[in-house]
């Protein structure tokens, strides 16, 4: 597990009571400020963009 | 950009394979959700505010969401040289007007030059473009005197003197806020001469124009606009709908961009607001802007003009999850919005909308049948 993935997993557990977490998976993401990335995902947590980057081949983290 | 992104165990996953994701579209000039637009009874109507007359049930809000729009600057009309106060909204459809306010957005105000403010001339001052200039200059001279009265009062109070506060002047208060960089000026304008006149006046008085709105002849005076530091919020290719719009060219946005002006494309229309990325895409044909530059005209650039770019306007970690998901390239006229998110919540979902249309049609048919079989 990468450190970012581990951080996200811990963060997800920490705020799972209130968090609303959504992953928009495998899109062509046009960021406007940092170009366009194909096969990219955006993670939304608590109304904010928590992370974005290449879509992982694994569909889900282990709980 | 982070490393590979995987869904946490508790995440709802939306498969967007083959789809495009962009920041939510931002419209720097809109009148949706407004019950009335023009307080045209006085030349300076800075005492009125759009916030007082918001209609959260205006269907145009939902239709704008269906075009990927998440934020709109709701402006007063253009009947007055100095118009009413504006308000920036997040399109949280279904919420109250108060819940739609963009928290912490810097307040704005509408100014207007040219044909619109002078057409009321027979009833109230002004009648001409020079008259418009005079109304603005005179209002700021009065605002400066008012500002000085308050400063004297505050300083006397600090020195322990028994001072009487000046009576609050609701017309001049917003102008003092402009002088103190607390309120953004959005100035409706068309012709190069009136744009230069307003820039000269602003420099003389000592205030900044945040955006020139419409600004169809902006391409003629783009270096002067850039030097003042004003942004420009224009149409893609509206032309000749009035005499002062005769010299409009579709290269305007691109030419001003190349001259160093911060440019956005706005709608000023409940119809046009539904396809702003297409409007922005026209600048790729007329003026050769890049894809990112074109999309920025309806996302990051208006966010900067409204000074909310720390929150919205691009897809970056830590920004609000105000996003639009498209079934194809958002710069193509064939693409449709599939989902629109505000603060990470879905406020438009095309699949759900299409399902509801079927349900509504069924209910309507059932009611009609009942009516027909009534004894």
Which among B8, B21, B295 has the least Cβ separation from residue A8?
A: B8
Mean pLDDT of B301-308: 98
Bridge partner residues of B323 (DSSP): B23, B341
Task: Give the Å distances, CA to CA, from B156 to B142, B147, B160, B173, B370.
Answer: 21, 14, 6, 20, 77
CB atoms B12 and A26 under 8 Å: no
Contact B70, B62 (CB under 8 A): no
Contacts of B319 in chain A (CB under 8 A): 48-49
CB atoms A42 and B2 under 8 Å: no
Which residue does chain B place closest to A21, by CA atoms?
A: B11
Contact B25, B107 (CB under 8 A): no
Structural element, H or E, at residue A15 = none
Mean pLDDT for chain B overall: 96
Q: pLDDT tens digit string along B105-148?
A: 999 999 999 999 998 666 788 999 999 999 999 999 999 999 99
The pLDDT assigned to A56 comes to 81
CB atoms A5 and B4 under 8 Å: yes
Q: Which residue has the tokens 């000039």?
A: B29
Q: How far apart are CA B296 and CA B25, in angstroms?
A: 9
Bridge partner residues of B7 (DSSP): A60
Of A11-25, B138-152, B311-325, the least confident: A11-25
Least Cα separation, residue A16 to chain B (angstroms): 7
Alpha-carbon Rg for chain B, nearest whole angstrom, is 23
CB atoms B344 and A26 under 8 Å: no
The pLDDT assigned to B372 comes to 87
Mean pLDDT of B250-262: 98
The pLDDT assigned to B4 comes to 82
Threshold 0.90, pTM exceeds = yes
Counting every residue, how long is chain A? 63
Tell the burial category of B370 from Cβ atoms under 10 Å away from its Cβ (0-12, 13-18, 19+).
exposed
Contacts of B316 in chain A (CB under 8 A): 31, 33-34, 49, 52
Structural element, H or E, at residue A39 = strand A36-45
Q: pLDDT tens digit string along B315-368?
A: 999 999 999 999 999 999 999 999 999 999 999 999 999 999 999 999 999 999
Mean pLDDT of B211-230: 98
Q: How far apart are CA B261 and CA B246, in angstroms?
A: 22
Within B87-243, where are the H helices? 97-100, 115-118, 129-158, 173-179, 192-205, 222-228
pLDDT band at B226 (very low <50, low <70, confident <90, very high): very high
- Give percent above pLDDT 70 in chain B: 98
Q: How far apart are CA B192 and CA B219, in angstroms?
A: 8
The pLDDT assigned to A61 comes to 66
pLDDT band at A5 (very low <50, low <70, confident <90, very high): low
CB atoms B344 and A20 under 8 Å: yes
Contacts of A32 in chain B (CB under 8 A): 22-23, 292, 295-296, 299-300, 313-315
CB atoms B325 and A48 under 8 Å: no
Q: Which of B23-32, B33-42, B118-127 has the highest mean pLDDT?
A: B23-32
Bridge partner residues of B348 (DSSP): B340
Higher pLDDT, residue A16 or B99: B99
Q: Which of B1, B3, B4, B6 to mutate against chain A (most A CBs within 10 Å)? A: B6
Contact B25, B299 (CB under 8 A): yes
CB atoms B5 and A54 under 8 Å: yes
| pLDDT surpassing 80 at residue A63 | no
Mean pLDDT of B256-269: 98
Within A15-52, where are the H helices? none
Q: pLDDT tens digit string along A30-58?
A: 999 999 999 999 999 999 999 999 988 76
Residues 6+ apart with CB under 8 A from B145: none
Phi/psi at B146 (5° precision): -65, -45
Q: In what order do the strands lie in the sheet with B231-234?
A: B25-30, B69-74, B82-90, B108-112, B184-189, B211-214, B231-234, B263-265
Q: How far apart are CA B236 and CA B279, in angstroms?
A: 6
Cβ atoms within 10 Å, residue B291: 17
């Amino acid at each position: 597990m990468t450190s970012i993935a581990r951080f996200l997993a811990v963060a997800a557990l920490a705020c799972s009571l209130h968090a609303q977490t959504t992953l928009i998976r495998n899109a062509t993401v046009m960021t406007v400020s940092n170009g366009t990335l194909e096969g990219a995902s955006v993670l939304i947590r608590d109304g904010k963009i928590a992370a974005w980057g290449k879509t992982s081949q694994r569909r889900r983290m282990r709980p | 950009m982070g490393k590979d992104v995987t869904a946490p165990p508790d995440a709802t996953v939306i498969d967007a394979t083959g789809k495009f994701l962009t920041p939510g579209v931002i419209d720097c000039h809109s009148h949706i959700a407004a019950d009335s637009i023009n307080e045209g009874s006085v030349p300076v109507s800075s005492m009125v505010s759009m916030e007082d007359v918001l209609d959260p049930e205006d269907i145009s809000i939902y239709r704008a969401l269906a075009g990927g729009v998440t934020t709109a600057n709701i402006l007063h009309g253009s009947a007055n040289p100095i118009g009413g106060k504006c308000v920036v909204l997040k399109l949280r459809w279904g919420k109250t007007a108060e819940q739609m306010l963009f928290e912490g957005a810097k307040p704005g105000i509408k100014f207007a030059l040219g044909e619109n403010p002078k057409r009321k001339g027979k009833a109230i001052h002004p009648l001409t473009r020079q008259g418009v200039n005079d109304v603005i200059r005179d209002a700021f001279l009065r605002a400066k005197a008012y500002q000085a009265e308050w400063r004297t009062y505050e300083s006397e109070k600090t020195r322990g003197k028994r001072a009487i506060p000046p009576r609050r002047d609701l017309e001049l208060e917003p102008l003092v806020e402009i002088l103190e960089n607390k309120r953004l000026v959005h100035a409706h304008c068309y012709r190069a001469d009136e744009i230069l006149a307003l820039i000269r006046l602003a420099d003389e008085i000592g205030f900044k124009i945040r955006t020139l709105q419409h600004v169809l002849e902006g391409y003629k005076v783009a270096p002067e606009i850039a030097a003042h530091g004003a942004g420009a919020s224009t149409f893609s290719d509206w032309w000749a709908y009035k005499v002062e719009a005769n010299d409009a060219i579709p290269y305007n946005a691109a030419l001003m961009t190349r001259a160093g002006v911060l440019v956005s494309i706005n709608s000023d229309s409940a119809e046009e607001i539904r396809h702003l990325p297409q409007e922005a895409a026209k600048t790729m044909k007329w003026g050769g802007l890049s894809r990112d530059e074109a999309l920025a005209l309806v996302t990051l650039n208006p966010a900067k003009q409204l000074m909310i770019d720390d929150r919205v306007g691009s897809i970056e970690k830590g920004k609000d999850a105000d996003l639009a998901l498209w079934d194809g390239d958002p710069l193509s006229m064939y693409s449709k919005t599939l989902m629109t998110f505000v603060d990470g919540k879905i406020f438009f979902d095309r699949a759900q909308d299409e399902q509801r249309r079927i349900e509504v049609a069924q209910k309507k048919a059932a009611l009609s049948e009942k009516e027909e079989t009534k004894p």
